[in-house]
Amino acid sequence: MRRSVLLGIDYSRALPEVREGLSFTPAQCAEFYAHLSTRSWPGELIILSTCNRSEFLLAGAAKAPSNN
């Protein structure tokens, strides 16, 4: 089973300081993706970052429930 999570902030719900802290330039996105590839990241990630909002879409396999 695959699970997806979308996290986002926009200008109407977050202070400028928060949006600035979560904004990514194209170079920062590439650096972050490279970092994840060294961490055996088991899923997929999309970062959408504009002047008014930032969104992070994460997808991956869900953990199987334990039978304990």
Active site residue 51: yes
Q: Which of 34, 51, 62, 64 is catalytic?
A: 51
Q: Which residues on adjacent β-strands are paired with residue 3? A: 60
CA 55 to centroid of chain Cα atoms: 7
Residues annotated as catalytic are 51
